Amino acid sequence: MIPGKTIPPEANMELILIRHGSTLWNEERRIQGLSDINLSDTGLDQARHLALSLKDHPISSIYSSPLIRARKTAEIINQYHQVPLYLSTDLTEMNHGDFEGLSIPELMARNKDFLRKWLADPASVSMPHGESFLDVQTRAWKVIEGIFPKGENVIVVAHNFTIASILCRIQNIPLTEFRSVCVDPASKTIIRFHHGSAYLELFNDRAYLNGNQR
């Protein structure tokens, strides 16, 4: 059980957090952020397997980032459910500003000093011409707060930093420790809410990609 200080006592629902399938930039280890990169062939295949693993799960609605990699993943999942699909810019990935498009090695080589500052205080240090991690958490949590009163089982399709920020809020984890809740492409994380408490039932699961559905 997770002590959910920010969870209303009337919250009784299941939240399934999905990170979009892989893109070429994921595979090239490039910073995507708000760059609107489509799913790769691998990502499309991942999304289809993910959708199949969720086809019998009772779902009332799906919320998604409007970026095409997330939206396409959500649409593939929804082929089995045909429920309302809501797009929200509050679920987009962190705006990485000047770092968009850089490879991870390029980022590390050129910006070590900045990255040290950001990792030490991601809540208040913003990416150059971009956002802070707290900015991401603030907007993403507005979506989750809007879901709680409905009491419905919901899928949220979003991005690595967006999902990590939500999990930090649910589990009362400082943003400086966000790496403990980062998730992989095409993964699912399931949280059950009951009377103001949260139960993490599944984290960063991709077993279905190997034909081992749980």
Write phi, then psi, for 140 (nearest 5 degrees). -65, -40
Residue 1 lies in a domain: no
CA–CA–CA angle 213, 43, 126 (5° rounding): 110
**Residue 7 or residue 173, greater confidence:** 173
Query: Is 49 one of the annotated active-site residues of the chain?
Result: no
Per annotation, catalytic residue among 93, 100, 131, 159? 93
- Cβ–Cβ under 8 Å, residues 91 and 183: no
pLDDT band at 26 (very low <50, low <70, confident <90, very high): very high
Please choose, from the candidates 149, 33, 155, 162, the residue with its C-alpha nearest in 3D space to the C-alpha of residue 96: 33
Residue 111's alpha-carbon distances to 34, 42, 75, 104, 115, in angstroms, are: 20, 30, 37, 10, 6
- Residues with Cβ < 8 Å from 104, sequence gap 6 or more? 29, 30, 31
The answer to whether the annotation marks 21 as part of a ligand binding site is yes
Judge whether 62 lies within some domain: yes
Determine if residue 25 is labeled as part of a ligand binding site: yes
Q: What is the extent of the structural domain holding 20? A: 13-210
User: For the domain that residue 109 is a member of, what is the CATH number?
Assistant: 3.40.50.1240
Q: Where are the beta strands (DSSP E) in the chain?
A: 13-19, 61-64, 85-87, 154-158, 188-194, 197-205
Q: Work out how many domains the chain is built from and give that number.
A: 1
Return the half-sphere exposure (C-beta side, CA atoms, 13 A cut-off) of residue 33: 20
CA-based torsion, 118, 166, 16, 3: positive or negative = positive
DSSP-derived secondary structure letter, 71: H
* Residue 3 is assigned to a structural domain of this protein: no
Determine, yes or no, domain membership for 50.
Answer: yes
Q: Supply the pLDDT for residue 164.
A: 97
Question: Which residue has better confidence, 49 or 5?
Answer: 49
- Whether the CB-CB separation of 138 and 166 falls below 8 Å is answered with no
**Domain assignment present for 7:** no
Q: What is the pLDDT of residue 3?
A: 40
Are residues 196 and 8 in contact, defined by beta-carbon separation less than 8 angstroms? Answer: yes
Query: Is 26 among the annotated ligand-binding positions?
Result: yes
Instruction: Please indicate if the annotation marks 88 as binding a ligand.
Output: no
In a domain, 140, yes or no: yes
- Tens-place pLDDT, residues 95-135: 999 999 999 899 888 898 998 999 899 998 999 999 999 99
Model pTM score: 0.92
pLDDT in tens, 135-165: 999 999 999 999 988 888 999 999 999 999 9
Confidence of residue 6 (pLDDT cuts 50, 70, 90): low
The mean per-residue pLDDT over the stretch 201-212 comes to 85
List, for residues 33-89, the tens digit of each pLDDT value. Answer: 999 999 999 999 999 999 999 999 999 999 999 999 999 999 999 999 999 999 999
196 is in an annotated binding site: no
Q: Which candidate, 56, 45, 5, places its Cα nearest to that of 22?
A: 45
Catalytic residue from among 20, 49, 81, 159: 20
Q: What's the mean pLDDT when you consider all of the chain? A: 92
Is 93 a residue of the active site?
yes
- Give Cα separations from 88 to 5, 129, 182 (angstroms): 25, 22, 21
Establish if 86 belongs to a structural domain. Answer: yes
Residue 53 marked as a ligand binder: no
- The answer to whether 127 touches 94, Cβ cutoff 8 Å, is yes
